[in-house]
Structure 1
Amino acid sequence: MVTVEVDPVRVESRLATGAIGCPTCRNGVLGGWGYARARQIEGLSDPVRPRRARCRACAVTHVLLPVTVFLRRAYAAERIWAALTARAEGAGHRRIGAGLGMPAATVRGWLRRAAQRLEAIRSWFLGIAVTAGVDVRIPDGSGCPWRDALAAVATATAAIRFRFGAAGLFGAVMPDRVAVAASGGRLLAPEWPPPRS
């Protein structure tokens, strides 16, 4: 799976010019290879039909997932991020679910997965901020792991905005999209974070 911008015309243009590198072999570039099945994502107006691509060197196929969705989640990244933000402000899963109009059990699953890796989220996104930014100010710890993790994502978002502008490389630079792009859509996936090389 490869995270790409939302605009399908830009994705097609990048595929045609060989501008998307293969994450498997790191030497090849991806070219168009059909589409994955369309699916409706809660919080997005149109169904998402991800583009598939195949590496011209190693022949491995990849799904190109837009930066507005996390891998294997039926809700838009913006809605998931709203739930994580509400938790950092002290709300519980039932109140978050009711406020966002989604099942409390779904929210509880996201919160449990995120709670298992709050320190990993914090350190990963502070690393992204330092890599992307100039004179990045690392936020002081607040004593709440949830607020500290979200502050790290906010710091990374600010560093990326400063370096690439408000439109960024994948569209509007917002914390939910930064969380998707910087984690490869896998922020809530079992295998994230990857080992540092």
Structure 2
Amino acid sequence: MSLVRRADTAEVVGAGLELAAAGWGCRRIAGRLGRPVTTVRGWLRCWSRRAVRATAVFTAWLVALADDPAAVLPAPAGTAVADAVSAVTGFAFAARARLGKLKVPTWLLVSAACHGRLLAPGWPPA
């Protein structure tokens, strides 16, 4: 599944966001993923602008899905970008636990949850 206004799949963009959360820069991420530096820079700028709101949205969804939210709430990861990625992966974990044998990759599940709008203008809603 692709993200709205993005040529790359949710899995490719998500991999880039995970690498950024781990401290990688856009040139290194671009090299690893085989994408243009300008493309990766665009993802990271967009994600950085919405990281705090995305953290709030995915954390709320995680809490709504988890049987024991305290057991799966991610600890602060050190940066807003890393916190948002942690919230996303926590949400995916809670969704899989709630829905049983769901074998959907994390970033595909995330894309479906936000209707492909993860990096689209106006998401998450204010």
**Aligned equivalent of 1:110, options 43, 47, 51:** 43
Preserved contact between residue 77 and residue 86 of structure 2 (Cα < 8 Å): no
Amino acid at match of 1:117: R
Indicate the RMSD between aligned Cα atoms, in angstroms: 1.2
TM-score, normalized by length of structure 1? Answer: 0.60
**Aligned equivalent of 1:101, options 23, 34, 37:** 34
Q: Size of the alignment, in residue pairs?
A: 124
Give the 4+ runs in structure 1 shifted more than 6 A. Answer: none
Amino acid at match of 1:183: C
TM-score, normalized by length of structure 2? Answer: 0.91
Corresponding residue number in structure 2 for 1:157: 92
Corresponding residue number in structure 2 for 1:139: 74
Higher-RCO chain (CA-CA 8 Å, sequence separation at least 6): 2
Higher helix share: 2
Preserved contact between residue 3 and residue 111 of structure 2 (Cα < 8 Å): yes
Higher strand share: 1
- Structure 2 stretches lacking a partner, 5+ long: none
- Structure 1 stretches lacking a partner, 5+ long: 1-67
**Alpha-carbon distance, 1:165 to partner:** 1.7
Corresponding residue number in structure 2 for 1:77: 10
Measured in 1, the distance between the counterparts of 2:5 and 2:36 equals 17
Preserved contact between residue 160 and residue 173 of structure 1 (Cα < 8 Å): no
Overall identity of the aligned pairs, in %: 40
1:57-80: per-residue Cα shift (whole Å, max 9, x none)? xxxxxxxxxxx2111211111110
Preserved contact between residue 111 and residue 118 of structure 2 (Cα < 8 Å): yes
Q: Point out the structure with max Rg over C-alpha.
A: 1
